[in-house]
Amino acid sequence: MLGPPGAGKGTQAERFARLRNIPKISTGDILREAVHAKTEVGLRAKAIMDRGELVSDDVMIGIVRERLEQTDAKDGFVLDGFPRTVAQASALDTIMTERDPLIVIDIVVPEAELVRRLGSRMICEDCGTGAPVGSMVGAACAKCGGRLVQRADDDQAVVIERLKIYHRQSEPLVEYYRVRPTFRSIDGAQAPDRVAEDLAAAIAAVNGYGSLGGRV
């Protein structure tokens, strides 16, 4: 599942995965799992992060390969946050060689709406849990009761720069997938329920067997 920061891809990925009883796999989650499990790739990633460096394509590819080999991903999965580069996408194609075709959904949202959404995101300053859209600064966290604050990386100037970086990095990736019959773009500027409906319809149209599974 592709889309810029604030497009709602994490929310939609989690919702779709839950309804289809398949795992939602995000790079952040599997990175933490690999480090915790002390796998060979996980230890390499930990050493890189401990030095304050970004995890390279080859390490991320290795971690994703390990995760997709686990039993719970055999009948389908939703990928959120991977691939981020054409090199990662090419490697993912290799990983998927013996599996069903990859379905790629690009959630498209106008930049002005993304800036508005990102500028209003709140998290708990105690536990770090994200708050529902529309939450106010100073309100209590539903999880622990802590105070809600704006995310440090959601300042408007920072948001605009993050979106520039995303578009620069993602355009080649979108073009890589756009020519495939299993690629679809959907409007992410709609209400979440409508986005979820369009997402499900796009996947059903592509994979030909609707709710029975498929890979996103």
Query: Is 60 part of any domain?
Result: no
Domain extent at residue 184: 1-20+104-200
Whether residue 173 lies inside any domain: the answer is: yes
Tell me the pLDDT of the chain (216 aa) as tens digits: 999 888 888 889 989 999 999 999 987 777 777 777 888 877 887 887 777 676 788 888 988 998 999 999 998 999 988 898 899 999 999 999 988 889 999 999 998 888 888 777 788 888 877 776 667 888 999 889 999 987 665 567 777 887 888 888 788 999 999 999 999 999 999 999 999 999 999 999 987 644 433 344
Does 88 reside within a domain? no
Residues labelled catalytic: 9, 84, 121, 151, 162
Domains: count for the chain = 1
Does residue 174 belong to any structural domain of this protein?
A: yes
Identify whether 143 is part of a domain: yes
CATH number of the domain encompassing residue 188? 3.40.50.300
Q: Is residue 58 part of a domain?
A: no
Burial class for 214, CB neighbours closer than 10 Å (0-12, 13-18, 19+): buried
Q: For residue 161, give the nearest of 169, 150, 149, 173 by alpha carbon.
A: 169
Residue 195 in domain: yes
Distance CA 11, CA 148 (A): 19
Record the pTM.
0.75
Q: d(Cα 197, Cα 194) in Å, to the nearest integer?
A: 5
Domain membership of residue 41 (yes or no) is no
Torsion, CA 35, CA 38, CA 41, CA 43, rounded to 10? 70
pLDDT tens digits for range 81-93: 889 889 999 999 9
